[in-house]
Amino acid sequence: MRIAFAGTPAFAAAGLEALLAAGHEVCMVLSQPDRPAGRGLQRQPGAVARAAQAHGLPLLTPASLRPERGGAAAVAALEALRAAQPDVLVVAAYGLILPEDVLRIPSGRSLAGGGAAVTALNIHASLLPRWRGAAPIVRAIEAGDAQTGISIMQMDAGLDTGPILLSRALDIAPEVTAGELTDQLATLGGELIVTALRDLAEGRLQARVQPAQGVVYAHKVSKREAWLDWQRPARELAARIRAFDPFPGACSDLGGYTIKCWRGHATTAEPAPAGTVLAAGPEGIVVACGAGALCLTQLQRPGGRRLAVRDFLAGMPVAPGQRWTTPAEPAPVPPS
């Protein structure tokens, strides 16, 4: 099948690589413009752009696909997409809103039983309609979900509102981080989009409308959310630490430093003011929370690297009675 592909990060690159490995012809790749990255903040291409370049695929990186916003670059990208004459457009974590006109450019393929042709498919990292929106993996871990998955969705004008073409569930391991779960879902997404396109080509793919019940939005993650609010229950904070790894990294102030907290688990403790260090040793730094206590086992000082708690304490001693502090107004907890 002749495919145009739109995506930006590593999650999307896994889908692109799977399509190429399955023998599909990728006639064009759309990705976001290069972004500053690394210590020197040099502009660098995203994972999809790098993959496209490595395979010698036509690549365009407009800042917008709306001519009124993106100007000549947007017009040129739309013209190139039309000229490429794709059968379908596959989208994965592109990061830009696609106008309806773009979704109508591919010629499309019919579903089983006929009806309107499928022109654009999205690889979405949740079991829709739960966790529509920008950060489904982070929000699933943060909310303590036991399961997530991949949905291959027929794209429409709404935000992740189109019919589901194919889906597969994946259990969320108790200690998994957002980075680790992203890798797992990226692999699953690649497998599932190949299956979906095979079934579509053979006229066997069916669509089901998303139910109206169970809709939850996965709001974009902000750096402000990184601050740990010690008034919250320990189990909730442990989930947030895993959800915010690798971005933005959960943090709190201690001894005049902003410390990143990368690993921690809930434990029991005698009641104490929230944020109070109850114990500090090679097994962890135990901090009182609104309910229970959080045992921190991997931390990072400004300018340093992630360290196991034993090594962290060797360079920054911590004593019972010290207090972890947060801004006066920590970020609100998104609805689940």
Q: Give me the pLDDT at residue 181, please.
A: 98
Whether 151 and 265 share a structural domain: no
Taking the C-alpha atoms of residue 205 and residue 14, their distance in angstroms, rounded to an integer, is 22
Whether 147 and 10 share a structural domain: yes
Structural domains in the chain (count): 2
Q: Does 330 map to a domain? A: no
- Report the mean per-residue pLDDT for the chain: 94
Q: Does 102 map to a domain? A: yes
pTM comes to: 0.94
pLDDT at 35 over 90: no
Whether 126 and 241 share a structural domain: no
Q: Does 322 map to a domain? A: no
Whether 87 and 173 share a structural domain: yes
pLDDT band per the 50, 70, 90 thresholds, residue 114: confident
DSSP category for residue 141: H
Percent of the chain with pLDDT over 90: 90
- Partners of residue 132 on adjacent β-strands: 217
Structure confidence by residue, pLDDT tens digits, 57-76: 999 999 999 999 999 999 99
Rounding to the nearest 10 degrees, give the CA dihedral for residues 312, 315, 320, 321. -110
Whether 176 and 229 share a structural domain: no
Q: Give me the pLDDT at residue 326, please.
A: 87
pLDDT band per the 50, 70, 90 thresholds, residue 218: very high
Whether 193 and 241 share a structural domain: no
pLDDT band per the 50, 70, 90 thresholds, residue 329: low
Q: 321: buried, middle or exposed (CB in 10 Å: 19+, 13-18, 0-12)?
A: exposed
Give which of 335, 226, 319 is closest to 280, Cα–Cα.
319
Residue linked to tokens 């499309």: 108
Q: What is the CATH number of the domain that holds 293?
A: 3.10.25.10
Q: What is the CATH number of the domain that holds 71?
A: 3.40.50.170
DSSP category for residue 119: -
Whether 122 and 203 share a structural domain: yes
Taking the C-alpha atoms of residue 295 and residue 193, their distance in angstroms, rounded to an integer, is 40
Whether 292 and 176 share a structural domain: no
Structure confidence by residue, pLDDT tens digits, 151-202: 999 999 889 999 999 999 999 999 999 999 999 999 999 999 999 999 999 9
Q: Give me the pLDDT at residue 36, please.
A: 78
Whether 23 and 145 share a structural domain: yes
Q: Which domain holds residue 282?
A: 223-315
